[in-house]
Chain A
Amino acid sequence: MKRRDFLKSVTGVAAGALVPAPAIFSAAKADARSETLLIVSEGGPNNLDIHGVGTNVPGYEVSWNCYDRLITHEMKSGPGGVPYYDRDKFKGELADDMKIDDMSVTFKLKKNAKFHDGTPVTSKDVKWSLDRAVSVGGFPTFQMSAGSLTKPEQFVIVDDSTLRVDFARKDRLTIPDLAVIVPCVVNSELVKKNASEKDPWGLEYTKQQTAGSGAYKLTKWTAGTEVIMERNDEWVGGPLPKIKRVIWRMVPQAGNRRALLERGDADISYELPFKDFQELKSAGKLNIVSLPFSNGIQYIGMNVTKPPFDNPKVREAMAYAMPYQKIMDVVLFGLANPMFGAAADKATEVAWPQPTKYVTDMAKAKALLTEAGYANGFETTISFDLNFAGVNEPLCVLVQESLAQLGIKTTINKIPGANWRTELNKKEMPLYTNVFSGWLDYPEYFFYWCYHGNNSVFNTMSYKSPEMDKLIDGARNAASIGDKATYDSDVKGFVDLAFKDIPRIPLYQPFVNVAMQKNISGYQYWFHRRLDYRALVKA
């Protein structure tokens, strides 16, 4: 081969390869594009049924949009005018009417409600679905129990279109718990047909396909690659959604997700680094929604059963040694609500989350440490979950630097995501950062899981205080009987105590960030923080 020919052929190949292919060939495809929503995210579902074993968070999004619940929340105007779910107001989704009595609630089903295969939704289906949620074990059963829904006997069929839910005990969380993702209504006849003796609830079947009555039905799912959903035109749960088709593609590379948005190829993306969100926000070419996690806090936890953190003075010193503002600026680029530095004279509110009065004050921290007998510091390890390394790693480095000024030598321990929960459950890590957020947005709910002496998984500090338990139980009880005065004083009491004893140091309330094209509107914030396609509009 001659040199010249070779070079010619090489450039020929290269030029041929790069001829741009027009993205859209035909007019039909252009139409399809305007009625289709293209979502890109890092991860996709591993199971389409929230009742399944180990269903991940992206799986919740499919469940939310493809299944209906008896009731759902109304919307209100949230921070920045973005529609935000209203914690206290409910409306029917499958139910036409909800009647709350002293120890039960009765639902009347919408008459024309149908599953995707055309069979009508009856109270038999609802009972079977709720029975399933409280019986399958794992997360769904746990979530149901948070609202004191534990036994199939609590769900009673009155007639074909009427169902009664009996309360096990008075609990303010029972009704809200019926509006979370878990108590979804499943097509019982269809699933039973595909169930087996080994799998009486048909979990294997619903893992791969949806069997609901929701606003969208699944048309194709390729695990790890894409999910395609089509609008259910027969939906009666609310006004007919505007988006006809949803294509959800998994794009693991954050840089590419941003490029797809900026080029206008993708409509919506979440899970971008904070820096990208901040830059996109200031560039102004896209709509960026940043809203605080309801009932969520990122914190530094300390194991209070072992020295040195069994000493409240040391914990207080730690709270004064946190580089709060630096974390806000450098790690989060301002995209979070600070949970520190409240004015010294600010009264405690009946609300959660609320900021502590701690600020970075190294002199005070040093004095407290000296008082506790650690004038020369100590050695410890700070652990974090590698799945969220983007935030956790720089955060821990900043804490490490700050603590070094007090002579505290900190080693950073990175724990792979698969291992993180095992480590948390062991409750042996001396110092770590983690985030907790509850679906049900009630202070006593948060405190019951995170601070109560019954030592749940989320009380990662192994914190035990009889006084705290009394206040939490008091507030729960007061809420269920509607005793507002006791409730208010108990909530203020446990917040004050949590800040005084400081077994965990609140850092900030994280934001959920969503980037979308300017022609997309109707985004709603939900407690589960996933997208609700039903309200979205593409102009």
Chain B
Amino acid sequence: MLTMIGKRLMFAIPSLIGVVIVTFLLTRALPGDPAAYFAGPAATKEAVEQIRKKLGLDKPLIEQFVRYTNDLAHGDFGNSLTTGQPVAAEIRNRLPASAELTLLGLFVSIVIAIPLGVLAATRPGSWIDHLCRVTTTAGVSLPVFFTGLVLVYVFYFRLGWSPAPLGRLDVFYSAPNTVTGFYLIDTLIARDFETFRSALSQLILPATTLAIFSLAPIARMTRASMLAVLASDFVRTARASGLSPGTVIVTYAFRNAMLPVITTLSMVFSFLLGANVLVEKVFAWPGIGSYAVEALISSDFAPVQGFVLTMAVMYVLLNLIIDILYGVIDPRVRLEG
């Protein structure tokens, strides 16, 4: 097992090198001159040149690249010009914010979508099947920022049930000591239940927004693969042997239907993590997506490179975890397979 993991990680190295080179070149190929941007509106030509020199952008591309990879090797992702902070520190701070939100959103989505999919598959054509179809279609066809804004409007502005959409914590709470970076976990470790409650209430609306959006692929995939499995011979045999419907569906059918669902989950997760920029914007969430987009808008190279690299590493790890999970769920699937 361990050697397999090691081998898989080795295979990832060439693709990471590729990612480093491509992001470096792509960010340089972007239109826009960071020196002119950061010199400010009142800059003279000389001021722009001074800034360019300070940023090291007057050097040839190859030299910039060597310096960049050298810094990377030392764990230095460079400095963001828009926020003024080291990129590595920013990603370390922001990734947990995005991950906490995405995981909770995904969790809510799974809790609703998988039972919904299973029920829809066991009673095709019934009202629950139609309900499943309608909710998933509605969820996926509403753009996330729209759902987010509607939720804010209804639950914050109109009803006043939800706290102000001001990021991870209400203004008057201070963040717990960082252990995992997940506020829900850190506040529990610190036994600060008031802050836990504040963090949770801040999370509900954005997580719901994400959940609504990701219901569709999970529910539909569960339904489809359950239908296929339920029609197979071994389920018929199980039924014929007089096993209870519950045992047939949960123990035999569902476990076999899990594999495609897990694949979908991993795709949905990575997609959500990168694509929840809009949710982050709506809820003033200090996540990694909005960070990367803002950096891109201002031609700020370092964060963009850092973001792409982090995402690449996350994908590699995620795929590895999924592969291991396959083996756990279905012993027939070997890691080599």
Binding site for B on A (CB under 8 A): 1, 3, 6, 10, 13, 17-21, 23-25, 29, 32-33, 36, 38, 40, 45-47, 52-56, 137-139, 141-143, 207-208, 222-226, 247, 249-253, 255-256, 259-260, 262-263, 265-266, 416-419, 421-422, 425, 456-457
Q: What are the residues of chain A within 8 A of B149 when measuring CB–CB? A: 253, 255
Contact B164 A416 (CB under 8 A): no
Contact B201 A142 (CB under 8 A): no
Query: Is the CB–CB distance between A256 and B172 below 8 Å?
Result: no
Among B42-50, B258-266, B322-330, the stretch in contact with A: B42-50
B165 with A251: CB separation less than 8 A: yes
Residue in B31, B41, B108, B157 whose beta carbon sits within 8 Å of that of A419 in the complex: B31
Complex CA–CA separation, A225 to B153 (angstroms):
22
Given contacts A23-B170, A457-B45, are A418 and B284 in contact (CB under 8 A)? no
Flag if A18 contacts B162 (CB, 8 Å). Answer: yes
Q: Say whether B166 faces chain A, with CB atoms less than 8 Å apart.
A: yes
Contact B119 A3 (CB under 8 A): yes
B65 within 8 A of A: no
Is A223 touching B85 in the complex (CB atoms < 8 A)? yes
- Pair A54/B198 contact, Cβ less than 8 Å: no
Q: Is the CB of B282 within 8 A of A253?
A: yes
Q: Which residues of B contact A259 (CB under 8 A)?
A: 152-153, 156-157, 164-165
Contact partner, A53, options B38, B42, B204, B290, Cβ 8 Å: B38
Least CB distance, B39 to chain A, in whole angstroms: 6
Distance in Å: Cβ of B209 to nearest Cβ of chain A: 13
B interface: dominant SS: helix
Known contacts A3-B119, A138-B39, A262-B157; is-contact A418 B164 (Cβ 8 Å) = no
Query: Are B36 and A422 closer than 8 Å at their CB atoms?
Result: yes
**Is A18 in contact with B204, judged by CB distance below 8 angstroms?**
yes
A457 near B44 (CB under 8 angstroms)?
Answer: yes
Which residues on the A side are within 8 Å of B84 (C-beta)?
45-47, 52, 207-208, 223
CB of B43 within 8 A of CB of A138, answer yes
| Contact A252/B45 with A139-B40, A416-B31, A418-B37 known, Cβ cut-off 8 Å | no
Q: Is the CB of B157 within 8 A of A263?
A: yes
Contact A421 B51 (CB under 8 A): no
A253 to B34 Cα, complex, angstroms: 25
In the complex, which residues of chain A have a beta carbon less than 8 angstroms from the beta carbon of B297? Answer: 416-418
Binary contact readout B249-283 vs A (1 if CB under 8 angstroms, 0 otherwise): 00000000000000000000000000000000111
30 A-B residue pairs with Cβ-Cβ distance under 8 Å, sorted by A, are A1-B115, A1-B118, A3-B119, A10-B111, A18-B162, A20-B160, A20-B161, A20-B201, A23-B163, A53-B38, A53-B54, A53-B55, A53-B81, A54-B37, A139-B47, A141-B47, A222-B93, A224-B82, A251-B166, A260-B166, A263-B156, A266-B164, A417-B37, A418-B30, A418-B33, A419-B31, A421-B43, A422-B37, A425-B36, A457-B43
Residues on B with beta carbons closer than 8 Å to the beta carbon of A247: 171
B residues in contact with A457, CB < 8 Å: 42-45
| Minimum CB–CB distance for A28 against chain B, Å | 10
If A46-B83, A54-B40 touch, does A417 touch B160 (CB 8 Å cutoff)?
no
Interface check B317, CB cutoff 8 A: no
**A256 adjacent to B282 (CB under 8 Å):** yes
Query: Which residues from chain B sit less than 8 Å from chain A, CB to CB?
Result: 30-34, 36-45, 47-48, 50-51, 54-55, 80-85, 90, 93, 108, 111-112, 115, 118-119, 128, 149, 152-153, 155-157, 160-167, 170-172, 194, 197-198, 201, 204, 208, 281-284, 286, 290-291, 294, 297-299
Rounded to whole Å, the gap between the CB of A8 and the closest CB of chain B is: 12
A33 and B32 contacting across the interface, CB-CB below 8 Å: no
Per a CB cutoff under 8 Å, which of B39, B152, B161 touches A54?
Answer: B39
Distance between B286 CB and nearest chain A CB, rounded to angstroms: 4
Q: How far, in Å, is A68 (CB) from chain B's closest CB?
A: 23
| Contact A33:B172 (CB < 8 A) given known A256-B282, A418-B297 | yes
Distance between A425 CB and nearest chain B CB, rounded to angstroms: 6
Q: How far is the CB of A80 from chain B (nearest CB, A)?
A: 28
A242 to chain B, nearest CB (A): 19
Q: Are B81 and A54 in contact (CB under 8 A)?
A: yes
Give the contacting residue for B284; candidates A56, A138, A208, A249; CB below 8 A.
A249
Q: Contact between B157 and A29 (Cβ–Cβ < 8 Å)?
A: no
Complex Cα gap A40–B166 (Å): 9
Say yes or no: A46 contacts B81, CB within 8 Å: yes
Judging by beta carbons under 8 Å apart, are B44 and A456 in contact? yes
Question: Smallest CB–CB gap between B171 and chain A, Å?
Answer: 5
B residues in contact with A10, CB < 8 Å: 111-112
List residues of chain A with CB within 8 A of the CB of B85: 223
Asked if A142 meets B42 with Cβ closer than 8 Å, knowing A25-B194, A259-B156, A421-B36, the reply is yes
CB distance from A17 to the nearest CB of B (A): 5
The distance in angstroms between the C-alpha atoms of A36 and B171, with both chains bound, is 10
* CB-defined contacts of B48 to chain A, threshold 8 Å: 425
Q: Do A421 and B33 touch (CB < 8 A)?
A: yes
